[in-house]
Amino acid sequence: MQSSINRDGFLPPDPDELVAEGEPPFADAATATAREKADHDLDTLQHEVRLLRARIGILREDAESALKAQANLIDANAHVQLGSYPWAKLALATGAAFIAARIIRSLPFGILLAGAAGHLSETRRW
């Protein structure tokens, strides 16, 4: 291997020694490095966003299946308690309560209280 000695008789300086530590060897290198770093960061962020979207999708599916399971459980409990057609029976009971409340509101309470007082007075005599 041939060594190159300059005309003063010294070895030329090593190019690595001419560049200060952390300093790019030429001006365009800093731009390329910064751009590469930015591209790498962008790729990393895009990958993390994809992962987060996948996790959100899994959470949505889990929540959806939990809601369906809860609805099935409620429906099964209603069938156990009320038999077949539980919602029709529940609607009938609600309608009957509404009608009973309307009838009770339309009754004159004075007459009812007078009848109850008469009934109480007769029961005291015994």
- Reported pTM: 0.41
Structure tokens at 113: 């209280």
Residue pLDDT, tens place only, 92-113: 999 999 999 998 888 777 777 7
| Range in 3-7, 27-31, 33-37, 83-87 with the lowest mean pLDDT | 27-31
Residue pLDDT, tens place only, 28-63: 555 567 888 889 999 999 999 999 999 999 999 999
| Range in 12-21, 35-44, 66-75 with the lowest mean pLDDT | 12-21
Model pLDDT, residue 64: 94
CA dist., res. 38 & res. 26, Å (int)? 19
Q: If you average pLDDT over every residue of the chain, what do you get?
A: 80
Model pLDDT, residue 46: 95
**Taking 90 as the threshold, does the pLDDT of residue 11 lie above it?**
no
**C-alpha 42 chain-centroid distance:** 26
CA dist., res. 116 & res. 38, Å (int)? 89
Model pLDDT, residue 78: 78
**Contacts (Cβ under 8 Å, ≥6 apart) of 30:** 24
Model pLDDT, residue 76: 86
